[in-house]
Amino acid sequence: MAGPWEMVIGLEVHVQLLTKTKLFCPCSTAFGAPPNANTCPVCLALPGALPVLNRGAVRLAARAAYALGCTVHEESVFARKNYFYPDLPKGYQISQFDRPLATGGFLALEDGPGARGVRIHRVHMEEDAGKSIHDRYPGHSAIDLNRSGTPLIEIVSEPDLRSAADAGVYLRRLKQILEYTEVSDANMEEGSLRVDANVSVRAAGADALGTKTEIKNMNSFSGVERALEVEFARQVALVERGERVVQQTMLWDAGSGTVRPARSKEESHDYRYFPEPDLPPLRLTSAVLAEWREAVGAQRAEPFQQRERALERSGLRSLEPRKFREVALAPGKQLERGAGEIDAANLGIVLRRERTLFALVPQPQAHPRCGAARAAGTLVRGSARDALEHEAVEADGRIEAHDACEA
């Protein structure tokens, strides 16, 4: 075969939902806790422990799906994805397989009517695994199960992307949508957004897809773009020599700028999916879905630049949680409007980012959120309280009574 060659890319993006607790147990999802501190019989997979679905996670997952123009199904089914790995204590991951939460969306790469874009194949929910740590103890591996059971969605695109640059545009727009709808903080450094890419080559203009490889281990958008270019060049060289592309998993090494085949144990398995017997099918009423869809309808129509400006104004990106603590919660210091870079309107966003805030508020009262509301009382009473109430609903996915909470 002769060139020119066309690159065909599909992306699978794992996104951590911005819940306060895990997908099937009440353990905290806060980042940075001591190893194995945020665990319980459910996420440690002790015998007899049963999962209970976090409704708040479902709501965020559906919100993301609607923001991507998907159809969210009234019934979806959790399934066991079986594989053995040291950081997966159950021996399976609860995911969704043939009955995912949502299907059939679209992400525009440009603004305006008729803009080109990428079809979204599906959005499904699943739990995260734990983490193996190989560099802590010489000759040994350690396991941290704090992430075990953390709620994720996987967003799977159709193979509609044709260049590394477009893959970068897709990821930046996707990240923005997730931030703007407050589905996720989409923080790649903390592992809240992870990208796997399926890549193949074919003669330009051909219909049939070539054999694909999957690239993993990319931890920045620019890394994704570089990895795609490198893998594309590798595949083109193979094909031009008359060799075949082998379907396999490749790992990106950002340091050397190369891809290498994953070791066999890191490759894909026969997952032997079957419906999760410990969870009933996930059923959502059409009324609830209509309400959730409506809530993101207007946001979805807003142009990219407009959302960018709103995000910048909101402080969601610029206001670091640690800075918030330093400025706002220093000993003896009350929150004040205009003190530092804190704006009352941003409090809800900051609270959702800084999930340990409630533990840090001096002398919390009976209800921790009331304590925080009092601490924030000198800010702007109404907005602080509203933000806290919003936080309570969004973080836990439960509506709580706030009548007793007087700021």
In this chain, which stretch among 23-31, 71-79, 80-88, 346-354 interacts with Zn ion, using CB under 5 A? 23-31
CB of 26 to Zn ion, least distance (A): 7
Contact 91, 81 (CB under 8 A): no
Residue 180 to residue 233: CA distance in whole angstroms: 35
Q: How far apart are CA 401 and CA 164, in angstroms?
A: 49
List the x/- string, 314-333, binding to Zn ion by CB under 5 A: --------------------
Contacts to Zn ion from residues 27-46, by CB under 5 A: 27, 40, 42-43
40-79 residues in contact with Zn ion (CB under 5 A) are 40, 42-43
CB of 407 closer than 8 Å to CB of 377: yes
Shortest approach of Zn ion to residue 43 CB, angstroms?
3
CB 282 within 8 A of CB 61: no
Binding segment (CB under 5 A) for Zn ion, from list 3-11, 20-28, 132-140, 237-245: 20-28
Minimum separation from the CB atom of position 38 to Zn ion (A):
7
Residue 129 binding Zn ion, by CB under 5 A: no
Is the Cβ of residue 11 or residue 25 nearer to Zn ion in the bound state? 25
Which DSSP helix (H) or strand (E) runs through 252? strand 249-253
Compare residues 23 and 370 and give the one whose CB is closer to Zn ion.
23
Q: Which one, 43 or 125, has the nearer CB to Zn ion?
A: 43
For residue 385, the SS3 value is helix
Instruction: Select 144 or 166, whichever has its Cβ closest to Zn ion.
Output: 144
Q: Which stretch binds Zn ion (CB under 5 A): 26-34, 91-99, 191-199, 222-230?
A: 26-34
Pairwise CA distance, residues 15 & 196, whole Å: 12
Peptide bond just before 368 cis, omega within 30 deg:
no
- Residue closer to Zn ion by CB (options 72, 145) is 145
Whole-number Å distance between alpha carbons of 154 and 61: 9
Task: Report the run of H or E that residue 62 belongs to, with start and end.
Answer: helix 55-67
Q: Which of 3, 7, 14 is nearest to 225 (CA)?
A: 7
* Shortest reach from residue 84's CB to Zn ion, in Å: 21
Longest dimension (CA), the chain: 74
Which CB atom, from 29 or from 217, has the smaller least distance to Zn ion? 29
What is the DSSP track for 322-367?
A: HHHHHHHSSTT----TTSTT--GGGHHHHHHH-TTHHHHSSS--SS
Closest CB 42 distance from Zn ion, rounded Å: 5
Q: Tell me how far apart the alpha carbons of residues 131 and 127 are, in angstroms, rounded to a whole number.
A: 13
Taking CB under 5 A as the criterion, the residue among 13, 25, 319, 376 binding Zn ion is 25
Nearer to Zn ion, 40 or 233 (CB): 40
What are the residues binding Zn ion (CB under 5 A)?
A: 25, 27, 40, 42-43
